[in-house]
Structure 1
Amino acid sequence: MVEPHIVTVLNVNDDDASRYMVTRILEMSGHRVIEAGTGGDALRLAAELRPELVILDVRLPDLSGYEVAARLRANPETASLSVMHTSATFVTADKRVQGLDSGADAYLTEPFEPAELLATVKSLLRLRHAERELRQRADQLAEADRRKDEFLAMLAHELRNPLAAIMTAIGILERKSTEDAKETRMRSIIHRQTHHLARLVDDLLDVSRITRGKVELRRTRLDLVEVLRQALTLIRPVAEGRGLSLESTLPEQPLWLEADGTRLEQVFTNLLDNAAKYSDAGGNIRVQLFQEGVDGSARAVVRITDTGIGIPAHKLPTIFELFAQADETLERSRGGLGIGLTLVRNLVEMHGGIVYANSPGAGRGSEFVVKLPLAAHQLALKGDSLTAPERPRQRRILLVEDNSDARQALQDLLELWGHQVQVAQDGMGGVATALEIRPELALVDIGLPGLDGYRVAQELRARVGQEIRLVAITGYGGPEDRSRALQAGFDHHLVKPVKPDELNRLLTNL
């Protein structure tokens, strides 16, 4: 049999008779009572014994009850205690207001009936119990959220290892010509689906980071025309594979933004992928980019229209909400997690822009419009825009990777580019090999057995020197992971699966 919980009450009053009367009423109702005659004693006993309720007379010999209540509220250790003021003299409305403003939860005027005192005590204890349950629930939710984030990070890491091997392998195959039409078609399918899976993994993690405010933009001056061209290049095989035509109208002159190019590419790839996903074969996707406004109000406008399934009127107001779906049929033939448009909205708003959707209705296509503020120096020279990387010169490279498939695929790709590659499958082996061959560049996985990638970087910096270039290749892609890698001594941080073109640009620009 569970023992009933006994409530502890601190009764503070310098008048012995009044204090005795309240104590007797409470004890007869089954409460445990602690007594104090001064404000100083009340503060000390409240901190030491943590009663659930403080019955506090306003008039005390050292501190007023208002001051005691305020100090209880200011102390984190006693801030959650319930406080009830009592007074036989300070009974005007302004005094009651002063008592409640100081932190009291209730105010009783003496003399009061025992039933009134007990009813007020019960009411305050019910409120305190409800607050405690809500606080515990909030703590449980915070802990569950933390574990969810840890799980998502680990899930992404585990998914990115096989993705890295597949993406690198298909990158090698695509560089070898074939006359077999079926093989060409299979390569294209693997390429599209691998990139699609990689985007799903990134979106799943990014929506978690954004909702926690952990995504930071790495702004540079960039040409939005080039960003859109890159997004169109990525999505064109997907659109053509689904029997869709893809048209674009882009200005000849650059439109400069102060923005994070990777995040904007993510925005437009998501919108274009959605347009392709929700359009049937024979449909059309059209992309327009133009400038509206002048001077300080100038904005770049991207308009993406499709001839797909459209958006019902009742879905338009919530289409950017987390897990919202335009395809509500039981078979869910269009797929998707319902997080892409949430990412789009958040990333666009982080850039100071807006995004909205229009649709004439179901079966009549959709339109998504993104508006982004242009950089102050819009008239920058075209020569500052991004240029395609050249083929990197041959380098002596150390690759440290414990996943055998990912290691072999990346080694084959690097050697195909003409580099000299030595490999190691764990941290200790990586350090030993680096001391032996003195590579120009080390590509190091973070999640290595024994000596992890961070410690490998620290060892190489200490024993090989500052000349070696260190690149972290990892499934952990959060801002905190990048920061930790740079602090450990890495020069660059790449997230698996690394696209061959991205790695090629890095090797060229080192």
Structure 2
Amino acid sequence: MVEPKLATVLNVNDDDANRYLVNRILEMAGFRVLEAATGMGALLMAEQHRPDVIVLDVKLPDISGYEVCERLRKNPGTASMAVLHTSATFVTSDKKVRGLEGGADAYLTQPFEAAELIATVKSLLRLRHAEQVARLRAEELAEMDRRKDEFLAMLAHELRNPLAAIMTAIGILERKPTDDAKETRMRGIIQRQTNHLARLVDDLLDVSRITRDKVELRTSKLDLLDVLRQVLQVARPIAESRGLGLEVSMPPGPLWVTADATRLEQVFTNLLDNAAKYTDGGHILVRIEQVGVDGSAKAVVRVKDTGIGIPADVLPYIFDLFAQADTSLERSRGGLGIGLTLVRKLVQMHGGDVQAHSEGPGRGSEFVVKLPLLSEMSTPATSGRVSDGRRGRRILLVEDNSDARQAMRDLLELWGHQVTVAPDGLQGVALALTQSPELALVDIGLPGLDGYRVAEELRSRVGNSIRLVAITGYGGPEGQDRALQAGFDMHLVKPVKPDELDRLLSSL
């Protein structure tokens, strides 16, 4: 049987009689005792033997106990040791305060009873043990959090590859009309559920990054109404497929904000998706207005539904992580309970706020987003629209997933582009050197030579005569920054929607 480890106490006192007396008290109580007669000796013993508690007299012949304690706290190797100051002369309250503020954990005035000394040492040992347990637990949680993030990143990559293939395939089918009503319904189901699954994957990763402040906004001056029109264009057919009316009220003029368009789309897509999901019949009202005057003006976006409502006891926590309005056992509404957490975090990052209102179950809900508007002096001048630059291009597609590669190739060829494909990075570089494509769509997670190295090779050997677009299952600003550093012109996250890819090709 392993003997339990004795707690070690370092007794520091220059008075031989006092030091001997304290040694005996501690030894009789079952502690292992070390001793030192000077401050420098105490520092050396603490560094070499790592005692659990240091009983430290304030008055020492070389340096004071106050300085010894301060040096112990500054040294990472001794900073966690419990320190008990003792003194027969420095006993006024200001001296005790100085000792405690200097890092001591307790203070005893000599002479003290043996029982008082033992009880104080045991109390410090309990405190030190609790701190060690808390520190170890914090380290374990940090390691678990790191592994969770690695798992989520890998999960997203593995999910996004098949999602990319499905989304591209349905994009091709949509461009071939059918008279079969059942087939049309099935296509719609596949498209809606694929889009829904892609949003869940994005939300799951984003909430992990946002709660750890790992997301940076890529802001520019933009018209909030344009963002909302994009969101409503997608949301309207979803609402109509569920038998819901969608009423929209917008002001005529632009509402200029400094914002990340992608993140604002995420905010309003989540709110509209929630409204549709929690409304079995009736309608959704979206109202946008401007309040306030120049300098303090705000855009107010209201998303109101006639759905199941929010109970009063749930309403204060509706933006908390994993909170759900639908708490029934069957969980018929679906969702992960993270969408509204993302909404609040993203709105706050834009300098705005979001509130939820409901009169109770069965009486609908309203979410109100307020965002600061730019002053009229800083709003950009309007200009004409960019003309459509779509034409047939020579495109190199480097993708190791065979289904995603074939679906993307078919879609690009359907649009009139000349497409060359490669299943890995080495073949991709070789084809780029011999075929001279105008554009290369390159997956990042390639065997042999990954996408970053492909970009670096092409930039060094071909230069800027080729446009490089990274397409990856690994999302996040870190991946985008690394892609741009490697030489890519743009960074897209799988699954890439056909319309998004079409806009990209048209803008090159």
TM over 0.5: yes
Unaligned 5+ runs, structure 2: none
Cα distance in 2 between the residues matched to 1:377 and 1:471: 36
1:168 equivalent to 2:159? Answer: no
CA shift for structure 1 position 389: 7.1
CA shift for structure 1 position 18: 1.4
**Structure-2 residue corresponding to 1:325:** 324
**Structure-2 residue corresponding to 1:358:** 357
Cα distance in 2 between the residues matched to 1:275 and 1:389: 36
Q: Determine helix, strand or coil for the equivalent of 1:296.
A: coil
Cα distance in 2 between the residues matched to 1:107 and 1:219: 55
Cα distance in 1 between the residues matched to 2:381 and 2:245: 30
Look up the equivalent residue of 2:234 and give its one-letter code.
Answer: L
1:405 equivalent to 2:425? Answer: no
CA shift for structure 1 position 356: 0.6
Q: Deviations over 1:107-146 (max 9, x none)?
A: 1111222222111111100110011001101111111111
**Structure-2 residue corresponding to 1:70:** 70
CA shift for structure 1 position 30: 2.8
Alignment of 1:460-471 (within 5 A): 460-471=458-469
Cα distance in 2 between the residues matched to 1:194 and 1:313: 34
**Structure-1 residue corresponding to 2:479:** 481
Contact 2:389/2:507 (<8 A) preserved: no
**Structure-2 residue corresponding to 1:439:** 437
Cα distance in 1 between the residues matched to 2:340 and 2:151: 23
Q: Determine helix, strand or coil for the equivalent of 1:207.
A: helix
**Structure-1 residue corresponding to 2:426:** 428
Look up the equivalent residue of 2:156 and give its one-letter code.
Answer: A
**Structure-2 residue corresponding to 1:46:** 46
Look up the equivalent residue of 1:426 and give its one-letter code.
Answer: D
Alignment of 1:299-378 (within 5 A): 299-377=298-376
Alignment of 1:482-497 (within 5 A): 482-497=480-495
Cα distance in 2 between the residues matched to 1:331 and 1:307: 22
CA shift for structure 1 position 88: 1.0
CA shift for structure 1 position 201: 0.6
Contact 2:221/2:256 (<8 A) preserved: yes
| The 10-residue stretch of structure 1 (46-55 or 440-449) with the greater mean CA deviation from structure 2 | 46-55
Change (3 A) 1:365 1:433: same
CA shift for structure 1 position 28: 2.8
CA shift for structure 1 position 383: 2.5
CA shift for structure 1 position 388: 7.6
Q: Determine helix, strand or coil for the equivalent of 2:464.
A: coil
Q: Deviations over 1:186-237 (max 9, x none)?
A: 1111111111111111111111001110011100011011111111011112
Look up the equivalent residue of 1:36 and give its one-letter code.
Answer: A
1:112 equivalent to 2:100? Answer: no
Q: Determine helix, strand or coil for the equivalent of 1:304.
A: strand
Alignment of 1:107-186 (within 5 A): 107-186=107-186
| The 10-residue stretch of structure 1 (29-38 or 153-162) with the greater mean CA deviation from structure 2 | 29-38
Contact 2:294/2:376 (<8 A) preserved: no
CA shift for structure 1 position 384: 4.6
Contact 2:223/2:257 (<8 A) preserved: yes
Contact 1:389/1:508 (<8 A) preserved: no
Cα distance in 1 between the residues matched to 2:215 and 2:377: 27
Cα distance in 2 between the residues matched to 1:32 and 1:5: 9
CA shift for structure 1 position 361: 1.4
Alignment of 1:178-197 (within 5 A): 178-197=178-197
Identity %: 74
**Structure-2 residue corresponding to 1:285:** 284
Look up the equivalent residue of 1:299 and give its one-letter code.
Answer: K
Change (3 A) 1:384 1:132: farther
Alignment of 1:92-103 (within 5 A): 92-103=92-103
Cα distance in 2 between the residues matched to 1:378 and 1:349: 24
CA shift for structure 1 position 37: 1.7
CA shift for structure 1 position 269: 0.4
Cα distance in 1 between the residues matched to 2:147 and 2:387: 41
CA shift for structure 1 position 32: 2.1
Change (3 A) 1:370 1:156: same
Q: Determine helix, strand or coil for the equivalent of 1:96.
A: helix
Cα distance in 2 between the residues matched to 1:361 and 1:28: 68
Q: Deviations over 1:255-279 (max 9, x none)?
A: 0000000000000000000010011
Look up the equivalent residue of 1:406 and give its one-letter code.
Answer: A
Q: Determine helix, strand or coil for the equivalent of 1:133.
A: helix
**Structure-1 residue corresponding to 2:270:** 270
Look up the equivalent residue of 1:457 and give its one-letter code.
Answer: A
Q: Determine helix, strand or coil for the equivalent of 1:204.
A: helix
CA shift for structure 1 position 238: 1.0
Cα distance in 2 between the residues matched to 1:379 and 1:135: 50
Look up the equivalent residue of 1:466 and give its one-letter code.
Answer: N
Q: Determine helix, strand or coil for the equivalent of 1:297.
A: coil
Contact 1:443/1:472 (<8 A) preserved: yes
Cα distance in 2 between the residues matched to 1:453 and 1:240: 41
How many pairs are equivalent? 508
Q: Deviations over 1:312-349 (max 9, x none)?
A: 12211111111111111111111111110110011001
Q: Determine helix, strand or coil for the equivalent of 2:382.
A: helix
CA shift for structure 1 position 381: 5.6
| The 10-residue stretch of structure 1 (392-401 or 39-48) with the greater mean CA deviation from structure 2 | 39-48
Report runs of 4+ in structure 1 exceeding 6 Å deviation. Answer: none
Look up the equivalent residue of 2:107 and give its one-letter code.
Answer: Y
Given the two structures, how large is their TM-score scaled by the length of structure 1?
Answer: 0.97
Cα distance in 2 between the residues matched to 1:149 and 1:292: 41
Look up the equivalent residue of 1:322 and give its one-letter code.
Answer: L
| The 10-residue stretch of structure 1 (266-275 or 321-330) with the greater mean CA deviation from structure 2 | 321-330
Contact 1:391/1:504 (<8 A) preserved: no
**Structure-1 residue corresponding to 2:5:** 5
Look up the equivalent residue of 2:144 and give its one-letter code.
Answer: A
Unaligned 5+ runs, structure 1: none
Contact 2:38/2:61 (<8 A) preserved: yes
Q: Deviations over 1:9-47 (max 9, x none)?
A: 221111122112222222233322222222122222222
Contact 1:475/1:495 (<8 A) preserved: yes
| The 10-residue stretch of structure 1 (167-176 or 43-52) with the greater mean CA deviation from structure 2 | 43-52
**Structure-1 residue corresponding to 2:18:** 18
CA shift for structure 1 position 391: 5.1
| The 10-residue stretch of structure 1 (464-473 or 365-374) with the greater mean CA deviation from structure 2 | 464-473
Look up the equivalent residue of 2:239 and give its one-letter code.
Answer: A
Look up the equivalent residue of 1:216 and give its one-letter code.
Answer: E
**Structure-2 residue corresponding to 1:501:** 499
CA shift for structure 1 position 424: 0.6
Cα distance in 2 between the residues matched to 1:395 and 1:189: 32
Q: Deviations over 1:84-107 (max 9, x none)?
A: 001111111211111111110111
Cα distance in 1 between the residues matched to 2:226 and 2:440: 30
Look up the equivalent residue of 2:428 and give its one-letter code.
Answer: G
Cα distance in 1 between the residues matched to 2:52 and 2:100: 18
Contact 2:221/2:380 (<8 A) preserved: no
1:455 to 444, 453, 456: 453
Contact 1:224/1:255 (<8 A) preserved: yes
Look up the equivalent residue of 1:53 and give its one-letter code.
Answer: V
Look up the equivalent residue of 2:503 and give its one-letter code.
Answer: R
1:89 equivalent to 2:62? Answer: no
CA shift for structure 1 position 48: 2.6
Given the two structures, how large is their TM-score scaled by the length of structure 2?
Answer: 0.97
